[in-house]
Structure formats: C-alpha cells, structure tokens
Amino acid sequence: DAGITQSPRYKITETGRQVTLMCHQTWSHSYMFWYRQDLGHGLRLIYYSAAADITDKGEVPDGYVVSRSKTENFPLTLESATRSQTSVYFCASSEPRGPPRETQYFGPGTRLLVL
Amino acid sequence: GENVEQHPSTLSVQEGDSAVIKCTYSDSASNYFPWYKQELGKRPQLIIDIRSNVGEKKDQRIAVTLNKTAKHFSLHITETQPEDSAVYFCAASKNTGFQKLVFGTGTRLLVSP
C-alpha cells in the first residue's frame, strides 16, 4: 500500500479556485484511476488512464481535468472548484499484465472541502 | 452502462453471528466481481473477488457466491468479530481490455461485542 501516495491529504479551498490533487505510484502500474467518494454514492469514477498520455472520462468527469505525462503520476485538477466538489478523492492503480490482473490498489485519499 | 445495487445499506450483528451483503448487476457481460473493505478513515482494500466462471470462493471466514443467471452476488462473513466492522463495497466489471469497476453504494457493517 505504501506504493501509492496522494497529496495533499487535506485541502480547504474556496469556490472558483483551481486545485490540483496529486497521485504517485511506485509500482509502474499501467492503469491509474481517480474516484470520488460521497455518502450514498459509493465510489464513482472520474477519470482513468491506461498508460502515459492516454486518459479517458469516467462516470462523473465534468469540472475535472487530468494529465499523465509520466507513468507514475496522475494529477487531478479542479479547474474552478464548486461546493459540489467537496468530497473524498481516491487515486488507484492496477497492472493489467498481472497477476492479479484486475486488483485496484487505492491511495490514502484526499479530503477536499470547498467553501 | 453497468449499474450495481447493494443491500442493505447498514447491517448490525452480534459478534459470532453471520453477515450477508447482496449485490445485483445489470450488464450480463460483467465477469469480474471484487469486494472491498473500507475501515473508518482508511482506503478501500480488496478482500475477495470472484470471476464469472466460478460459483463460489472462500477465504477463511469470508466467502463470495455468484449467480450469473440472476445477476447477483453476495458476500458472506461467518463468526463475525468487532474488527469486521467497516463499510463493504461490491463492484463489477467486464473484460473489454480495461477493467473499469462500477461500485455499489456500500454497506456499513457494525459488529457488536
């Protein structure tokens, strides 16, 4: 688990500000994911990436931007934060060439509060 | 797209009792069903998974069953202990070359001593 880290762990920001959440993994996993966790909704996929420079939208991508210039990093940017983006954000990674092929390993999470 | 429903949302049991959490999925092409456990303030962690070519899988006190015809799968925890208290999430995905998980909404399990 120590192989995937997120920063910051806690963040308070204001409506309209740009915020970037960082995710770093040391396993050289090909796949990386961003989820948000909200009460009553479970974990919802925001964006995912199959490799460096390959990203795609998940279930709830609006208001978010991602990039992946290096395999180990997958930052998530909120371009103009809104109160509805207050949430706990989890990054995850997996290696499809496995085994275990499908297991996703989660980072410790970032708690974001938008005032 | 895939939709996963999970029940119950909360479950309270006495230590030593069994607990069962049920999930249904909508996409008959889904073939991989993991279960994640999330303790308070912690990250989700995989506890067991099952593939569609298997009907049941056990690992000590936990087991998962899959009914492909009915499109539902269940997590069974026997001899529950206080440390089993957590939120449990089921998920489903299909092998399209990329394992994109769709999660249920979670079950909060409370095991009372």
β strands within A1-115, DSSP E: 4-7, 10-13, 19-25, 31-38, 42-51, 54-57, 64-66, 76-78, 87-94, 105-106, 110-114
CB contact under 8 A, B49 and A1: no
**Count of CA atoms in the C-beta half-sphere (13 A) of B106:** 20
Please classify residue A13 by burial: count the beta carbons closer than 10 Å to its beta carbon, then call 0-12 exposed, 13-18 middle and 19+ buried: middle
A55 - beta bridge partners? A49
CB contact under 8 A, B100 and A45: yes
If we measure between CA atoms, which residue out of A14, A22, A36 comes closest to residue A82?
Answer: A14
At residue A98, the pLDDT reads 61
User: For the segment A72-102, what is each residue's pLDDT rounded down to a tens digit?
Assistant: 999 999 999 999 999 999 999 988 766 566 7
Instruction: Search chain A and give the residue with CA nearest B101.
Output: A45
In the three-class reduction of DSSP (H, G, I as helix; E, B as strand; rest coil), residue B83 is classed as helix
At residue A40, the pLDDT reads 82
If we measure between CA atoms, which residue out of A36, A20, A31, A35 comes closest to residue A54?
Answer: A31
Chain A interface, best mutation among B57, B100, B107, B108, by max A CB count within 10 A? B100
The percentage of residues in chain A with a pLDDT greater than 70, rounded to a whole number, is 94
Q: Is A6 in contact with A93 (CB distance < 8 Å)?
A: no
At residue B88, the pLDDT reads 98
At residue B19, the pLDDT reads 98
At residue A100, the pLDDT reads 63
Mean pLDDT of B64-88: 96
At residue A95, the pLDDT reads 83
Please classify residue A25 by burial: count the beta carbons closer than 10 Å to its beta carbon, then call 0-12 exposed, 13-18 middle and 19+ buried: buried
Chain A interface, best mutation among B99, B102, B107, by max A CB count within 10 A? B99
Mean pLDDT of chain A: 92
Structure tokens at B20: 């069962």
Question: Is B34 an interface residue toward A (CB < 8 Å)?
Answer: yes
Handedness of CA A1, A43, B105, B9 (dihedral sign): positive
Work out the minimum CA distance from B112 to partner chain A, whole angstroms. 23
